[in-house]
Amino acid sequence: MNSCKTLLFVILLFSSLAVVSQKQSKENWESMFNGKDLTGWTPKIRYHAAGDNFGNTFRVEDKKIVVRYDAYDKFDERFGHLFYYKPYSYYRIRLNYRFVRDQAVEGPEWAIRNSGIMVHGQSAESMGKDQDFPVSIEVQLLGGNGKDARSTCNLCTPGTNVEMNGELFTPHCINSSSATFHGDQWVLAEVLVLGDSIIKHFANGKEVLAYQKPQVGGGATSGQEVIFGKPGDILKGGSISLQSESHPVEFKDIEILNLEGCMDPKALNYKSYYIKSKQSDCRYKKN
């Protein structure tokens, strides 16, 4: 009798573990880039309309999205951004980047080996023709100069503010705790974005910065034709874009993990790693 009870307990235990295991979803990372062309991406370069890829600034080479300035006589503050077609709110984004070659002629000194991933931003189409930066949260990507310490995955705030440690943070940029990456080595940058609650930056897998409550406010943008929100408006989601700031840069392995979706375990498209519930996405087996 005792042996039967023991056997039954073992069977029930393994059955329970199987159910739990079945519910642990594999992360469904999606590629944001087809490796062939800029399908799904829209360029917006200062002094040009959305969709006008002046000078073929953003292009594809060897299955990478690259930023080049060989068609520029001088940079002339033509800051550019390449916008992904789909906005997100709760997600993780990761990519590898590296800086190469020399800076464009007359590029600003602060923009040497400088680029960024813009999140929670306005759309390309809503930017003014002469607007330099989208209202957004910038994950600033920097490369070292070969000798001095220079962190990456920093925070900059064009037209925005955030909260840090429960207080409003208004300076334009703050450095992360990352290492310095000199030369043309590839660096893995990752951003965890959870709506308006928290954003975290990671460099080569290490968390280097965190903050909360991204919101409209502050300066560091010019040329807006349509004002994007009012100071204090909380940003819960928005566009994602890659930056052109006068130094050639390359991006590869650009992937996103959506963290918003069906959180009902009974649904066919349930994912255990979702953070934000979207019941309207749920799909069920038909009887």
pLDDT tens figures, 210-262: 999 999 998 879 998 888 889 999 999 999 999 999 999 999 999 999 999 99
Position 10 confidence tier, pLDDT thresholds 50, 70, 90: very low
In a domain, residue 179? The reply is yes
In a domain, 18, yes or no: no
pLDDT, mean of residues 10-20: 43
pLDDT at 2: 54
**185-215: per-residue pLDDT in tens?**
999 999 999 999 999 999 999 999 999 999 9
Q: State what percent of residues in the chain have pLDDT above 90.
A: 87
Locate tokens 């994007």: which residue?
228
DSSP 8-state class, residue 103: P
* Contact yes or no for 208/150 (Cβ under 8 A): no
Please state the pTM of the whole predicted model.
Answer: 0.91
Per DSSP bridges, beta strands 90-99 and 187-194 are antiparallel
Tokens of 160: 């925005």
- The structural domain count of the chain equals 1
pLDDT at position 13 is 45
**What is the structure's pLDDT at 21?**
41
**Residue 93 included in any domain:** yes
Whole-angstrom Cα Rg for the chain: 22
Dihedral over alpha carbons 95, 157, 149, 249 (to 10 degrees): 40
Domain that holds residue 63: 30-260
Model pLDDT, residue 23: 62
Cβ atoms of 249 and 99 within 8 Å: the answer is yes
Report the pLDDT value the prediction gives residue 197, as an integer from 0 to 100: 97
* 284 within a domain of the structure (yes/no): no
Q: Is 95 part of a structural domain of the chain?
A: yes
pLDDT (mean) for 77-83 = 98
pLDDT in tens, 134-157: 999 999 999 999 999 999 999 999
pLDDT of 15 reads 45
Residue type, 18: A
Place of tokens 């660096």: 187
| Residue 238 covered by a domain | yes
Which range among 20-34, 39-53, 172-186, 195-209 shows the weakest confidence by mean pLDDT?
Answer: 20-34
Residue-level pLDDT at 189: 98
User: How is residue 204 written in tokens?
Assistant: 């080569």
**H/E segment holding residue 18:** helix 2-23
Angstrom distance (rounded) from CA 91 to CA 254: 13
Q: Is residue 2 part of a domain?
A: no
Using the 8-state DSSP alphabet, how is residue 191 labeled?
E
Q: For residues 283 and 270, what is the distance between their CA atoms, to the nearest angstrom?
A: 8
pLDDT at residue 180, as a whole number: 98
What pLDDT does residue 220 have?
76
CATH number at residue 105: 2.60.120.560
Eight-state DSSP code of residue 25: P
Cα dist from 46 to 37, 82, 215, whole Å: 22, 12, 23
Answer whether residue 34 shows pLDDT above 60.
Answer: yes
Q: Where are the beta strands (DSSP E) in 62-149?
A: 64-67, 80-84, 90-99, 114-121, 137-142
Q: State how far the Cα of 163 lies from the Cα of 210, in Å rounded to an integer.
A: 10
